[in-house]
Amino acid sequence: MKVNHNALQLEENYLFSEVARRLKAFQQQNPDRTLLKCSIGDVTLPLPSVITDALKQASEEMHHAETFHGYGAEQGELFLRQAIANYYSKRNLTINPDDVFVSDGAKSDLGNLCDLFDSDNTVLLPNPVYPVYYDTNKMAGRRVEFLNGTKENGFLAMPDSSQHADIIYLCSPNNPTGAVYSKEQLTEWVNYALDQKAIILFDAAYEAYIRDDSLPHSIYEISGAEYCAIEINSLSKMAGFTGVRCGWTIVPETLVLDGASLHHMWFRRMATKYNATSYIIQRGAEAVFTPEGQKAVKADVNYYMENAHILKKALQTAGIFTTGGDNAPYIWMECPDNLDSWEFFDKLLSMYAIAGTPGVGFGTSGQGWLRFSSFGTRETILSASELLAKL
């Protein structure tokens, strides 16, 4: 028996697990101090009643023989796939419900999509970026190359025609920097992918936070993307489903690479390895896309964006350079005094009991930066901001 030695190349601890470990140690050593947690991107508002009512109704259905549901469609129930397709139509996009695949969240799909691709592929990642992209491909033994996002380019890495890539990960709005690609920039990426005969895996998990109407919410707003892109989205941050778990991936039937239909491959993979998202959860997800549901979840998104505004204003008062916070729920701040990411994380924690997330955990280009999440309670955000303004 041999283990997968590629998996042994990963950092000992996943970024957010290491943050959690340090916070736990801090609280054990300082039981009387109130931890102001602005680190992990977990939501704090409860689910709106329109969603919980749908979950209760679906649970009640499971109690009666005539409405009981057993195994569902691996791809997801049509009522939810149609609701998701209708959601895209509001941006004048025509998405076939048959191209929508329901899952338990974006993180799972981002990792599981690796099953479709040979290990002999070159993966191109913006740097800094969500750690799951890197970790899952290193586990699979793929070559990983980077395009650096920097202060100078607004943390929006752009393609280099001299650099070859087979699999491209894009996250817009970006986690951790909060930067958002324009239509012109995404057009350049789509043209690059078409030229390279590459696939774009487009993580749109934070699209609900975009405030600038000129910015694209979906890769499919770009002509030609249906021939080179898979889009992944989630209800975790849009609708507070971090503890409920539901997301979706769009794999168009027009997407044919290396002579194979990725749509059919993904369908086959789901049928083999996934027994469908819970019917109860899918009914709750369906409620998100009703008029009442959209009104409720948009109110929650506005709450978190106001949190972001409060954090950003405090850091600006302190003279700290930041990005994000305008069209994303994350604030990306430059560490003062030339401190590296973990040094500033520890200093902020010990001095003010404020927890952020070290930027270097998202890639080498994140060294010297820290990410703040706006998903805390208003009380936490206000308390942290009062202290941050004094930095």
**Structure confidence at residue 105 as a pLDDT band (50, 70, 90):** very high
Backbone phi, then psi, for 250, in 5-degree steps? -105, 120
Same domain, 114 and 232: yes
196 Cβ contact partners less than 8 Å away, ≥ 6 residues apart: 164, 165, 166
Same domain, 135 and 17: no
* In the predicted structure, residue 375 carries a pLDDT above the cut 90: yes
Instruction: Decide if 248 contacts 101 (C-beta within 8 A).
Output: yes
Instruction: Decide if 56 contacts 390 (C-beta within 8 A).
Output: no
Dump pLDDT digits (tens) for 227-277.
Answer: 999 999 999 999 999 999 999 999 999 999 999 999 999 999 999 999 999
Measured N-to-C along each axis, helices 341-352 and 378-388 cross at an angle, to the nearest 10 degrees, of: 100
**Structure confidence at residue 14 as a pLDDT band (50, 70, 90):** confident
Q: Could you tell me if residue 376 is inside a domain?
A: yes
Instruction: Decide if 123 contacts 149 (C-beta within 8 A).
Output: no
* In the predicted structure, residue 13 carries a pLDDT above the cut 90: no
Length of the chain: 391
Helices of type H across the chain: 15-29, 49-61, 78-89, 106-112, 131-139, 183-196, 236-239, 262-273, 279-288, 291-317, 341-352, 378-388
**Structure confidence at residue 16 as a pLDDT band (50, 70, 90):** confident
Dump pLDDT digits (tens) for 338-364.
Answer: 999 999 999 999 999 999 999 999 999
> In this structure, what token pair is assigned to residue 244?
């409920």
Per-residue pLDDT at 311: 98
**Structure confidence at residue 9 as a pLDDT band (50, 70, 90):** confident
* In the predicted structure, residue 11 carries a pLDDT above the cut 90: no
Instruction: Decide if 61 contacts 69 (C-beta within 8 A).
Output: yes
Beta bridge partners, 306, equal none
**CA–CA dist 155, 43 (Å, integer):** 25
CATH of the domain at 286: 3.40.640.10
Average pLDDT over residues 284-303: 98
Q: Of the residues 261, 290, 319, which one is the last residue of a structural domain?
A: 290
Dump pLDDT digits (tens) for 146-200.
Answer: 999 999 999 999 999 999 999 999 999 999 999 999 999 999 999 999 999 999 9
Q: Could you tell me if residue 2 is inside a domain?
A: no
Same domain, 72 and 211: yes
Per-residue pLDDT at 40: 82
* In the predicted structure, residue 12 carries a pLDDT above the cut 80: no
Same domain, 218 and 302: no
Per-residue pLDDT at 256: 97
**CA–CA dist 91, 346 (Å, integer):** 43
**CA–CA dist 200, 169 (Å, integer):** 6
Instruction: Decide if 16 contacts 357 (C-beta within 8 A).
Output: yes
Instruction: Decide if 169 contacts 125 (C-beta within 8 A).
Output: yes
Domain boundaries, position 77: 50-290
Nearest to 330 by CA among 202, 214, 205, 215: 205
Instruction: Decide if 275 contacts 71 (C-beta within 8 A).
Output: yes
47 Cβ contact partners less than 8 Å away, ≥ 6 residues apart: 55, 239, 240, 241, 244, 284
Q: Of the residues 290, 309, 339, which one is the last residue of a structural domain?
A: 290
Dump pLDDT digits (tens) for 107-148.
Answer: 999 999 999 999 999 999 999 999 999 999 999 999 999 999
pTM of the shown model: 0.96
Average pLDDT over residues 75-89: 98
CATH of the domain at 296: 3.90.1150.10
Per-residue pLDDT at 210: 98
5 Cβ contact partners less than 8 Å away, ≥ 6 residues apart: none
The structural domain count of the chain equals 2
Per-residue pLDDT at 102: 98
DSSP states along 254-310: T-EETTEEHHHHHHHHHHHH-----HHHHHHHHHHTSHHHHHHHHHHHHHHHHHHHH
Dump pLDDT digits (tens) for 301-317.
Answer: 999 999 999 999 999 99
Average pLDDT over residues 57-80: 97
Q: Of the residues 235, 269, 290, which one is the last residue of a structural domain?
A: 290
